Amino acid sequence: MVPDGIRQGRGHNANGAFLAGMAMRITETEIKEIIKLLERLGCSVGVETVFRDWCECFTLALANGCDLLHGPVRERREKRYLDIIGKYKKDAGLFPEMCAHLTNAFEVDPWQDHLGRVYMECFGGNKNLGQCFTPQGVCEVCASTVGIPEKGKTSTLYEPACGGGAMVIAYLKACHLAGYDYQRLLKIYAADLDSLCVHMCFIQLSLLGARATVAQQNTITLKTFDVFKTPMEMLWPALLCGNPEPQTDDTAAIIKENPWLE
């Protein structure tokens, strides 16, 4: 558990710089631990495979964990989770350990593309898909040009090539600092062609409590392969009117919910 004052963005007092420095040190340690565990698990199957498997398992666990109506998509995802985790046998326990390190990194420093950093440090990006995740400072400059919605008003955000979600995270930071309650008021739609990016973005937006739909989709043709809703978005209908919805992979329904995609 991290003391409140250490969380970055909250240390607005005489110790602000000291606390921000401490947060950075803690985050560094958590990220290094994740990379160490990935390398340990990667001895036999390769580090990239482990990273992909871990991100997918974390995504499936988060998505299925808050699907209150056990429908067919949940069943399919449960089976997929068991197939992946089954490969790791006695080492499967290291997966939740990495989840804990990532959660801790978000706890101390919520406004970073932590998984993008792990990815770039371990593999240097995927040149075929133009994958080179944008540094946080650049994302923050871009976010500052978008404008923050009026306090108390609902709004939407569309990120058509989300990668690990760095641009969205920077925008959420801007909203948070301006006092805009993005967790309740901002509905996000993010897409990427690469399933790994979809999983990375989904995990990070879930940990930030954002209401997001993250699709594996070709943004140009709108051909959709998979769709995930973050816990906050999944539970939204239940929170509002006690009327939960099951997970769906019905592209037409998703597009109907997000009409600006048409």
Ligand X SMILES: C[S@@+](CC[C@H](N)C(=O)[O-])C[C@H]1O[C@@H](n2cnc3c(N)ncnc32)[C@H](O)[C@@H]1O
Comparing CA positions, the residue from 77, 46, 33 lying closest to residue 202 is 77
Residue number with CB closer to ligand X (64 or 216): 216
Tell me the closest approach of the beta carbon of residue 226 to ligand X, in angstroms.
13
Residue 14 to residues 5, 10, 24, 178, Cα–Cα distance (Å): 11, 12, 17, 21
Residue number with CB closer to ligand X (108 or 162): 162
Q: Which stretch binds ligand X (CB under 6 A): 18-26, 178-186, 190-198, 206-214?
A: 190-198
Q: Which of 53, 163, 173, 200 binds ligand X (CB under 6 A)?
A: 163
Bridge partners of 156, per DSSP, are 187
The angle formed by the CA atoms of residues 85, 52 and 62, to the nearest 5 degrees, is 65
Tell me the closest approach of the beta carbon of residue 28 to ligand X, in angstroms.
20
CA dist., res. 178 & res. 142, Å (int)? 16
Comparing CA positions, the residue from 55, 51, 52 lying closest to residue 39 is 51
Q: Which of 37, 118, 162, 261 binds ligand X (CB under 6 A)?
A: 162
Q: Which stretch binds ligand X (CB under 6 A): 9-17, 74-82, 159-167, 181-189?
A: 159-167
Q: How many CB atoms lie within 10 A of CB 117?
A: 20
The answer to whether residue 129 forms part of the interface with ligand X (CB under 6 A) is yes
The answer to whether residue 167 forms part of the interface with ligand X (CB under 6 A) is yes
Tell me the closest approach of the beta carbon of residue 33 to ligand X, in angstroms.
23
Rg over CA atoms, the chain: 18
For residues 96 to 125, the per-residue mask of contacts with ligand X, x marking binding by CB under 6 A and - elsewhere, is: ------------------------------
175's CB contacts (< 8 A; 6+ apart) are 148, 149, 181, 182, 186
CA 130 remoteness from chain centre = 20
The answer to whether residue 203 forms part of the interface with ligand X (CB under 6 A) is no
Tell me the closest approach of the beta carbon of residue 137 to ligand X, in angstroms.
12
Instruction: State which amino acid sits at residue 201.
Output: C
The answer to whether residue 145 forms part of the interface with ligand X (CB under 6 A) is no
Q: Which of 54, 106, 133, 180 binds ligand X (CB under 6 A)?
A: 133
User: Which tokens go with 171?
Assistant: 């925008």
What sign results for the dihedral spanned by CA atoms 99, 104, 106, 107?
positive
Length of the chain: 262
The answer to whether residue 219 forms part of the interface with ligand X (CB under 6 A) is yes
The answer to whether residue 191 forms part of the interface with ligand X (CB under 6 A) is yes
Q: Which of 26, 38, 148, 166 binds ligand X (CB under 6 A)?
A: 166
Q: Where along the sequence are the contacts to ligand X (CB under 6 A)? A: 129-134, 161-163, 166-167, 191-194, 197, 218-220
